[in-house]
Amino acid sequence: MKVTVDEDRCAGHGMCLTLCPEVFEMSDDGWAVATPGELPADLESAAKDAIANCPEQAIVEIDS
Protein backbone atom coordinates (compact mmCIF):
# COMPACT_ATOMS: atom_id res chain seq x y z
CA MET A 1 0.00 0.00 0.00
CA LYS A 2 1.20 3.46 -0.94
CA VAL A 3 -0.52 6.75 -0.17
CA THR A 4 -0.16 10.33 -1.25
CA VAL A 5 -1.81 13.60 -0.29
CA ASP A 6 -3.45 15.75 -2.95
CA GLU A 7 -2.10 19.15 -2.02
CA ASP A 8 -4.88 20.87 -3.97
CA ARG A 9 -7.47 19.22 -1.72
CA CYS A 10 -5.69 19.20 1.65
CA ALA A 11 -6.85 21.99 3.92
CA GLY A 12 -4.55 21.17 6.81
CA HIS A 13 -7.14 19.62 9.14
CA GLY A 14 -4.46 17.35 10.58
CA MET A 15 -6.60 14.27 11.21
CA CYS A 16 -4.09 12.19 9.29
CA LEU A 17 -1.24 13.28 11.55
CA THR A 18 -3.29 12.36 14.60
CA LEU A 19 -4.40 8.97 13.29
CA CYS A 20 -1.18 7.93 11.57
CA PRO A 21 1.80 10.07 12.62
CA GLU A 22 4.24 7.46 11.34
CA VAL A 23 3.18 8.19 7.77
CA PHE A 24 1.98 11.80 7.62
CA GLU A 25 3.69 15.04 8.51
CA MET A 26 2.78 18.67 7.97
CA SER A 27 4.74 20.62 5.43
CA ASP A 28 5.86 24.18 6.07
CA ASP A 29 3.19 25.21 3.57
CA GLY A 30 0.40 23.83 5.76
CA TRP A 31 -0.61 20.66 4.01
CA ALA A 32 0.13 17.08 4.85
CA VAL A 33 2.82 15.04 3.16
CA ALA A 34 2.86 11.24 3.17
CA THR A 35 5.93 9.08 3.45
CA PRO A 36 6.74 7.93 -0.09
CA GLY A 37 7.00 4.31 -1.04
CA GLU A 38 5.42 1.10 0.19
CA LEU A 39 4.12 1.32 3.75
CA PRO A 40 5.00 -1.32 6.30
CA ALA A 41 2.08 -3.74 6.68
CA ASP A 42 1.56 -2.78 10.31
CA LEU A 43 0.80 0.82 9.31
CA GLU A 44 -1.82 0.03 6.67
CA SER A 45 -4.73 0.00 9.11
CA ALA A 46 -3.83 3.43 10.51
CA ALA A 47 -3.27 4.78 7.00
CA LYS A 48 -6.72 3.55 5.96
CA ASP A 49 -8.21 5.26 9.02
CA ALA A 50 -6.55 8.47 7.87
CA ILE A 51 -7.97 8.07 4.36
CA ALA A 52 -11.46 7.47 5.75
CA ASN A 53 -11.35 10.40 8.15
CA CYS A 54 -9.83 13.16 6.04
CA PRO A 55 -12.62 15.76 5.73
CA GLU A 56 -11.38 16.78 2.28
CA GLN A 57 -10.83 13.27 0.88
CA ALA A 58 -7.32 14.48 0.13
CA ILE A 59 -5.50 11.23 0.86
CA VAL A 60 -5.26 8.86 -2.07
CA GLU A 61 -4.16 5.26 -2.12
CA ILE A 62 -1.81 4.59 -5.01
CA ASP A 63 -1.71 1.26 -6.81
CA SER A 64 1.57 -0.48 -6.14
Question: Binding residues for ligand F3S, per CB under 6 A?
Answer: 5, 10-16, 31-32, 54, 56, 58-59
CB atoms within 10 A of CB 57: 11
Whole-number Å distance between alpha carbons of 27 and 54: 16
Q: How far is the CB of 40 from ligand F3S (least distance, A)?
A: 20
Q: Choose between 10 and 39: whose C-beta lies nearer to ligand F3S.
A: 10
Q: How far is the CB of 63 from ligand F3S (least distance, A)?
A: 19
Q: How far is the CB of 3 from ligand F3S (least distance, A)?
A: 10
Q: Could you tell me where the beta strands, DSSP code E, fall in the chain? A: 2-5, 24-26, 32-34, 59-62
